[in-house]
Amino acid sequence: MIEFPPAPPESQPPYRHDPYVSSRRRAPRQPLISIPQTLSELTGPMYGHNPIGETDNDLTRQCADAPQGERILVAGRVLDEDGRGVPNAMVEIWQANAAGRYRHSRDAHHAPLDPNFLGAGRVLTDGAGNYRFTTIKPGAYPWRNHDNAWRPAHIHFSLFGAGLLSRLVTQMYFPNDPLIPLDPLINGIPDAAARGRLISSFDLAVTEPEWALGYRFDVVLRGRDCTPFEEPRR
Ligand SMILES: [Fe+2]
């Protein structure tokens, strides 16, 4: 059985980071109890009951018309600790619309909903670990963490590996966003190089002429170059 090593601690956000206010209430107050990894992390339960639809990875084609905003392509690879692509990983995303609003009952931001944008997608990686989405560049949105707090534009990612017990959740940011240095989520991660791994890069090879800019975002599941995850394995 494969043993998954813990990520380097500096590469992952702490459970409690005081500038990120809700982490104060959420962080464990007792020492953690380590549950040994077993075969079930690898063997299941698994996906397979709900086939992936043709437009599940194209968030611009899920409604009657195209959504408002800047169309973008987001592509990358899911990689293991040795840089090998991970095939058949379920990559799910969710995001705000171009105006910075989620289609969610608890989002009260005074910005328009887009009737043509659901804001969620999913895809399986191919044999080399590649995934690709077509979507709309999300807007920044305010949150009440501190005075005049705005989240940088971001796309939430969830990844499932071999089984549902191996879920990892993170966020992808966009290059040169002036809100990133002000964001307590990303800045709670101690290691600067690890923070940088959450920022996608503009990629002309992903960009399609006369169609959309392309951004590359690779996700490394474990090892020295591990992507920072929310609620990471310790
Ligand atoms: Fe968000």
E strand or H helix that includes residue 41: helix 40-43
E strand or H helix that includes residue 196: helix 192-196
- Annotation says 110 is catalytic: no
Ligand 1 centre from 19 Cα, in Å?
17
- Which of 156, 195, 197, 222 is labelled catalytic? 156
Ligand 1 centre from 162 Cα, in Å?
26
Domain assignment of residue 185, given as a range: 42-220
- Annotation says 154 is catalytic: yes
DSSP-derived 3-state class of residue 22:
helix
211 lies in a domain?
yes
The count of structural domains within the chain is: 1
227 lies in a domain?
no
Residuewise pLDDT in 10s, the chain (234 residues): 566 777 888 999 999 999 999 999 999 999 988 877 777 766 766 666 678 899 999 999 999 999 999 999 999 999 998 999 999 899 999 999 999 999 999 999 999 999 999 999 999 999 999 999 999 999 999 999 999 999 999 999 999 876 666 789 999 999 999 999 999 999 999 999 999 999 999 999 999 999 999 999 999 998 889 999 987 555
Q: What is the DSSP letter of 185?
A: H
- Annotation says 77 is catalytic: no
What CATH number does the domain containing 81 carry? 2.60.130.10
139 lies in a domain?
yes
- Which of 151, 195, 197, 222 is labelled catalytic? 151
34 lies in a domain?
no
Q: 62: Cβ–Cβ under 8 A, 6 or more apart, which residues?
A: 55, 117, 118, 121
Tell how far CA 5 is from the center of its chain.
21
pLDDT on residue 35: 79
- Annotation says 141 is catalytic: yes
165 lies in a domain?
yes
142 lies in a domain?
yes
Query: What's the rounded Cα separation, in Å, for the pair 85 and 159?
Result: 14
148 lies in a domain?
yes
- Annotation says 29 is catalytic: no
Q: What is the DSSP letter of 129?
A: S
Ligand 1 centre from 141 Cα, in Å?
8
55 lies in a domain?
yes
Ligand 1 centre from 57 Cα, in Å?
18
